[in-house]
Amino acid sequence: MSNFFNLNQRSGYVLVVEDSNVQAKKLKFLLEENGFEVRISINGIDALKVSAENKPFLVISDIVMPEMDGYELCTRFKSDSELREVPFILLTSLRDPLDIIRGLQAGADNFITKPYEDQYLLSRIQYLLANRALRHAGGADMLIEVIFKGNKYSINSDKKQILDLLLSVYEAAVQRNDELILTQAQLEASNEELLSANRELEAFAHTVSHDLRSPLHTIGGYVRLLIDEYGVALDDSAKEYLSTILDATKSMAQLVEDLLNFSRSANAPMELKQVDLTRVAREIFENLRMREYGRTIECKAADNLLVTADHRLMEIVMENLLSNAWKYTRKTDFPVIFVGKKEEKGETVYFVKDNGAGFDPAKSYKMFNPFERLHTNQEFPGIGVGLATVRRVLERHGGRIWADGKVGEGATFYFTLPDKPAA
């Protein structure tokens, strides 16, 4: 491999001061590969001792080290008449602007942040060596005072040294910024692809679900006609078969409705206005009673549950939460469902509470993911998109949802909505 530098331009060795064995070996390999002789010191004290015996022509030092950090080591070098002309590069993973001030105070010639590209480090070394003879071209040393964040700092570096240090930091910042811009562009492209795929998937789900409605209604209608008009002529087995078909079409119709709601919850336009959740809950209770006439269940909704939200989407939220409570209290002797609110840490929290089957709190994180269920279909039928739809709707409004419960002791679903949701 050809050397990055002309070896005739300098003699001696590069002193690498680094307490990390891995980083020290990495630097040593890079520099030796480019024709440098390298010595390693594991701390500042050892570096001063080595340099007093045999002066290096360049020092590359980490900042964060035990016993003596890189700033102090650099200061000691620049205050020593024998070592002050040795170019000094500080390496750091720190990001505070005060680090640059401290580097200037110490008199560092270059300041390079980790991680860095090998070629970038080599280019800074080449620059320092090429300009070593011009070190004082900017004029004699002078004391400069700067104020940063209300504090005054005295800097002994000359103009050329200050310029070199600031340019090295600026160059590193520009390189980082270019990398961030590239990464952001890649993320935006990936995000757009993901959004497009989601839109296509949801459009597909909406279309399929919508197109399934008509044949399901037809099947259900003809089954009911058979039962109503020809029930007398059918034996018990035939009636059972037809009943099974009718139940299956009802389940399928509910699945289609759930998928449609899930699809709408992402893209449906929102019209924000005052929504009376008390009224919505009581209407849903009445509908549930009509569907399962004769079931004894205590359903209560507190007064004045007023929110600012999209009315249709909040109907979907309450329908799912109350239908779940209705379903999971089916095996409870004295089922109770209560809708209310409470103030918690300056925020209004709404809740739907039941005394039904409950759930294992250790698995609650699964509940709001699509098609995740904590109960088998034999225990309680469903497909697991209801709570995912609820979460999506509430997040679109800028709210959130969580749940608390115990197996056999019921469940409570809490949710919040901002006073002024973003449309």
Q: Is 200 helix (H, G, I), strand (E, B) or coil?
A: helix
| HEC profile of 274-320 | EEEHHHHHHHHHHHHHHHCCCCCCEEEECCCCEEEEEHHHHHHHHHH
Has this prediction a pTM greater than 0.75? no
Beta bridge partners of 148: 151
Which residues, in sequence order, are CB contacts of 21 under 8 Å at separation 6+?
none
**β pairing state of 411-416 and 347-354:** antiparallel
User: Where are the domains positioned within the chain?
Assistant: 7-157, 269-423
Q: What is the pLDDT of residues 134-167, one digit of tens each?
A: 554 444 445 555 555 556 555 555 555 565 566 6
Q: Compute the distance between CA of residue 324 and CA of residue 320 in angstroms, rounded to an integer.
A: 6
CA atoms within 13 A on the CB side of 384: 12
Radius of gyration of the chain (CA): 36
**What CATH class has 7-157?**
alpha beta
pLDDT in tens, 285-335: 998 888 887 788 999 999 999 999 989 889 989 998 998 899 888 888 899
Is a pLDDT exceeding 50 seen at residue 277? yes
Asked if 295 and 289 count as a contact pair (C-beta separation under 8 A), the reply is yes
Segment 337-362 shows an average pLDDT of: 89
58, 128 Cβ separation under 8 angstroms: yes
Residues 173-225: pLDDT tens digits? 667 777 788 888 888 888 888 877 777 766 776 676 667 777 877 888 888 88
Helix (H, G, I), strand (E, B) or coil at 336: strand
- CA 294 to chain centroid: 48
Do the beta carbons of residue 410 and residue 353 sit within 8 Å? yes
Judge contact between 373 and 384, C-beta under 8 A.
yes
CATH architecture classification, 269-423 = 2-Layer Sandwich (3.30)
> Which pLDDT score is estimated for 113?
78
